[in-house]
Structure 1
């Protein structure tokens, strides 16, 4: 079982447009609403693979009630913590060429009592979990150290923890030695405070995060592939993708694939790459099912292309 905690979940509404013209009245070609937030997306991908998953989420207002219902429809056990504020709604505008315009709401402010209730829900629901995935930005009211407190508490029970967040929340949690952290290239550059121009730069940055406490680093480099740096070595994985339809949730799908495949070594990295490649070929934030995966298109190697320039260098 994989348990996820998403402190700032959302309803994700996606509109596919024939074009985007500012100031005009536009008619959508199609629209959909999905349960959202990074940890929720991980749970959706795990559930799509037929594995058990529990999603710990704060739920507020009618939006929170709809989120809980949608989680159930996706085969996810929702461990909802009531909060006073309304669950946020995010909007994505998708153009025919794959260009995305996103409007993300701030979400509710979490009180001290609600924050403690979230921590307690993770503790009680994590019994028997193979992995606990802590994912996403922290909402208003939670300090950057909140994930660090969660990791410290859960590690005492012996559970393995994966963390996908950024900024101060990421740097604060490293001394607690999370088992896996999963930054993208931009988040990795921010964490080490220097530009990443090549794959080799990304490897050095991942090694620095390990020096600062992370046991393993799974880094998404967008179209360039993914890196895994852990105690056994450094691995690079990539896959060819014919058409990118939407990159929303691709990193979350990658983390789900990685954890579901054991969360360690090149086999898990290959699963992460396959899940990410499948996700970008699906609309909106749809998570891939096993039928969408193509492991034959994935290559993994210990021969790191260190001098290869990143498609989108990170400042």
Structure 2
């Protein structure tokens, strides 16, 4: 089983506008809208369920929005382990215009108390670190009330129970967790550049940065480079891959779908990287934060190689 933990989950409301721009200061009329359970770990669980994997989402939930979030997940066949919190779970808003441009407004979410933080850690330690748990994916930003060291503490507790841990976060929380040796971290290009403190101009620069994160403690680095592809840096070797995409409809949750594809395919090696690429490419061609099913995947559109194009520029 793959367990996800999302310290700051959300309801994601997406509006699709027919025109090519969002008109600020005016009334904009959407041609469609949808509400999805959100948060990076939530999206990973949704993508795993769509692919037929067993998963449980561990979430701090509060208020009516928290109740709706849990209900939507259970309706999708996802087990929910909820930790009650006093604050209201956040609602994020995305606006997608006809040309594919995405505008997001992310709410800060509730502030967790020390007792609520401890309860979240205790739930993971008690119920999800023993036999039967293959991976625990810790994903997203930390809510107010949790220090950057919170993920590092969680990584240590999960490893003590024998499970492997994937970490998808950024900034101080990512840097603090590296010394606890997460089994895989999944930064995007911007987060990778921030972690090493310098811009990344080429695929080779990204590979060097991934190597630095490995030296600091990450056992594997799965680096998403957006439209430029994806890197996997590990002790066993380094691989680079790309996936062709016809039309980008929404990139909300695409990185989360990639992580689900990677973990669902074993979480190591070029085959898992190919699965990550296929899932991410399928996700960007779907509306809102819809997660891809196996029918949406195009494995023949994926290319993975150990011959990494070091001089290829990023952000082309």
Same fold (TM over 0.5): yes
Q: CA RMSD in A?
A: 0.7
Match of 1:148 in 2: 152
Match of 1:74 in 2: 76
Q: Shift of the alpha carbon at 1:240?
A: 0.7
**Distance in 2, Cα, partners of 1:3 & 1:213:** 22
**Distance in 1, Cα, partners of 2:126 & 2:26:** 50
Q: How does 1:262-273 map to 2 (within 5 A)?
A: 262-273=266-277
Spell out, residue by residue over 1:58-100, the C-alpha distance to the aligned partner (whole angstroms, 9 max, x if none).
Answer: 0000000000000101111000000000000000000011100
Q: Shift of the alpha carbon at 1:123?
A: 1.7
Q: How does 1:211-230 map to 2 (within 5 A)?
A: 211-230=215-234
Gaps of 5+ in 1: none
Match of 2:17 in 1: 17
Aligned residue pairs: how many? 312
Q: How does 1:243-262 map to 2 (within 5 A)?
A: 243-262=247-266
1:210 aligns with 2:209: no
Match of 2:30 in 1: 28
**Distance in 2, Cα, partners of 1:70 & 1:125:** 22
**Distance in 2, Cα, partners of 1:274 & 1:154:** 28
TM-score (structure 2 length as normaliser): 0.98
Match of 2:6 in 1: 6
| 1:157 equivalent among 156, 161, 186 | 161
Match of 2:122 in 1: 120
Match of 1:96 in 2: 98
The secondary structure found in structure 1 opposite 2:201 is strand
Q: Shift of the alpha carbon at 1:122?
A: 1.2
Q: How does 1:165-176 map to 2 (within 5 A)?
A: 165-176=169-180
| 1:234 equivalent among 235, 238, 242 | 238
List 4+ stretches of structure 1 deviating above 6 A.
none
TM-score (structure 1 length as normaliser): 0.98
Spell out, residue by residue over 1:170-212, the C-alpha distance to the aligned partner (whole angstroms, 9 max, x if none).
Answer: 0000000000000000000000001100000000000000000
Match of 2:67 in 1: 65
**Distance in 2, Cα, partners of 1:256 & 1:286:** 13
**Distance in 2, Cα, partners of 1:311 & 1:228:** 18
Match of 2:305 in 1: 301
Match of 2:46 in 1: 44
The secondary structure found in structure 1 opposite 2:314 is strand
Gaps of 5+ in 2: none
